[in-house]
């Protein structure tokens, strides 16, 4: 008799709980380590991640800005592990040096999703999936644009952050094509670390060294190109005319510079990765199998289309 009343009491409890609404679903705790705020591209990327997390009530986001320092990223990833987050997301400042902390995450059974830049790690089991651009292809697009436009002469290359996959790949794709075109010659190459201020400083050194003998500037991102444009004008030359300029990202200020005739082309690199990142997080937690790689679709914008396209741009 006692047993039956216990069963009824238990059923009544279950019914009452469900009558007052099911117990709140456990949130998915995500720790994200962002590189920094070095460029307009990065700021747009951060905005995309944070705003997307806010749209998803089942996501609890712990967001950290590493101020472009790898040691800060490693430290905060360790703290995410200690806090036992459900998923770790990050964009590596540079390609190497993350293997130990990725092994610690794996040992703690915390899956890692990489977006944007990549890591150079043999053991690909250390992360679940990568979502980002094909930056070797972006470098190829830069070279093919120069050739299609019939550009000739001395190229100054402004490299992104040394050791980053973005800089390595954009140079690799570019050189793969240019090496077969003797009319294009890289005579200067130096890192501006993807920032506007360093881009201006590096361009000043380029101009001091080669001045009017620079025919083309290839900047690995728009922010460095915009810094370079200031230096070229202060030097007394016309950016986009005396020195042709092409860069990567496709930020708002690049479109403005193209409308003003100071930048000749920008190769798009999409920073709005928030929705794809959190879709991957939710799919992962739902037990779905994720592709190892998801490449974002991108375009190329010559100055001639800047005025028409600019109103459609989201970053």
Among the listed ranges 39-47, 54-62, 69-77, 205-213, the one in contact with ligand GZL (CB under 6 A) is 39-47
Q: How far apart are CA 290 and CA 311, in angstroms?
A: 34
255 binds ligand GZL (CB under 6 A): no
**How many residues sit in the footprint of ligand GZL (CB under 6 A)?**
14
Residue with tokens 């979502």: 131
DSSP 8-state symbol, 293: E
- 256 CB-near residues (< 8 Å, 6+ apart): 310
Task: Work out which of 28, 30, 34, 41 binds ligand GZL, going by CB under 6 A.
Answer: 41
Q: Residues 310, 259: contact at Cβ < 8 Å?
A: yes
Sign of CA dihedral 255, 196, 236, 206: negative
Binding mask 120-159 for ligand GZL (x = CB under 6 A): -------------x--------------------------
42 binds ligand GZL (CB under 6 A): yes
Give the ranges where 181-310 is alpha helix by DSSP (H).
196-210, 222-235, 252-259, 274-285, 306-309
Q: Residues 119, 98: contact at Cβ < 8 Å?
A: yes
Binding mask 192-231 for ligand GZL (x = CB under 6 A): --x--------------------------x-x--------
90 binds ligand GZL (CB under 6 A): no
**Closest distance of CB 36 from ligand GZL, Å:** 8
Task: Report the 10 Å Cβ neighbour count for 263.
Answer: 30
Which neighbouring-strand residues pair with 30? Answer: 61, 87
Coil, strand, or helix at residue 162? Answer: coil
Nearer to ligand GZL by Cβ, of 65 and 104: the residue is: 65
Which neighbouring-strand residues pair with 29? Answer: 60
Nearer to ligand GZL by Cβ, of 202 and 248: the residue is: 248
Nearer to ligand GZL by Cβ, of 52 and 116: the residue is: 116
DSSP 8-state symbol, 37: S
Nearer to ligand GZL by Cβ, of 42 and 140: the residue is: 42
Q: How far apart are CA 174 and CA 215, in angstroms?
A: 17
Task: Work out which of 116, 157, 198, 268 binds ligand GZL, going by CB under 6 A.
Answer: 116
**Closest distance of CB 153 from ligand GZL, Å:** 25
Q: How far apart are CA 156 and CA 54, in angstroms?
A: 42
**Closest distance of CB 11 from ligand GZL, Å:** 56
Nearer to ligand GZL by Cβ, of 167 and 216: the residue is: 167
Task: Work out which of 32, 33, 38, 140 binds ligand GZL, going by CB under 6 A.
Answer: 38
Residue 283 has phi, psi (to 5 degrees) of -65, -40
95 binds ligand GZL (CB under 6 A): no
**Closest distance of CB 230 from ligand GZL, Å:** 17
**Closest distance of CB 64 from ligand GZL, Å:** 17
249 binds ligand GZL (CB under 6 A): yes
- Between the alpha carbon of residue 295 and those of residues 86, 91, 115, 125, 131, the distances in Å are 24, 15, 10, 19, 6
The residues binding ligand GZL (CB under 6 A) are 38-39, 41-42, 116-117, 133, 166, 194, 221, 223, 248-249, 269
């Amino acid at each position: 008799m006692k047993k039956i009343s216990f069963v009824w009491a238990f059923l009544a409890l279950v019914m009452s709980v469900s009558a007052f609404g099911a117990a709140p679903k456990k949130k998915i705790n995500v720790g994200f380590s962002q590189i920094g705020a070095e460029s307009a591209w990065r700021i747009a990327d951060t905005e995309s991640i944070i705003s997307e997390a806010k749209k998803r009530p089942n996501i609890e986001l712990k967001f950290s800005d590493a101020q472009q320092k790898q040691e800060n990223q490693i430290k905060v990833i360790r703290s995410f592990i200690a806090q036992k987050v459900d998923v770790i997301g990050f964009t590596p400042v540079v390609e190497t040096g993350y293997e130990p902390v990725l092994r610690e995450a794996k040992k703690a059974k915390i899956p890692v999703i990489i977006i944007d830049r990549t890591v150079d790690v043999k053991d690909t089991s250390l992360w679940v999936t990568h979502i980002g651009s094909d930056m070797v292809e972006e470098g190829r697009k830069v070279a093919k644009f120069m050739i299609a436009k019939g550009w000739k002469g001395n190229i100054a290359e402004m490299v992104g952050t040394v050791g980053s996959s973005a800089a390595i790949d954009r140079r690799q794709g570019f050189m793969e094509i240019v090496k077969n075109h003797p009319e294009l010659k890289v005579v200067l190459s130096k890192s501006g670390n993807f920032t506007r201020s360093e881009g201006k400083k590096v361009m000043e050194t380029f101009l001091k060294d080669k001045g009017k003998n620079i025919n083309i500037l290839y900047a690995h991102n728009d922010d460095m190109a915009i810094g370079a444009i200031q230096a070229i004008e202060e030097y007394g030359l016309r950016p986009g005319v005396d020195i042709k300029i092409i860069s990567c990202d496709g930020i708002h200020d690049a479109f403005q510079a193209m409308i003003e005739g100071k930048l000749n082309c920008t190769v798009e690199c999409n920073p709005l990765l928030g929705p794809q990142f959190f879709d991957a997080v939710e799919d992962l937690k739902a037990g779905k199998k994720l592709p190892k790689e998801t490449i974002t679709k991108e375009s190329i914008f010559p100055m001639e289309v800047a005025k028409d396209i600019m109103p459609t741009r989201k970053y």
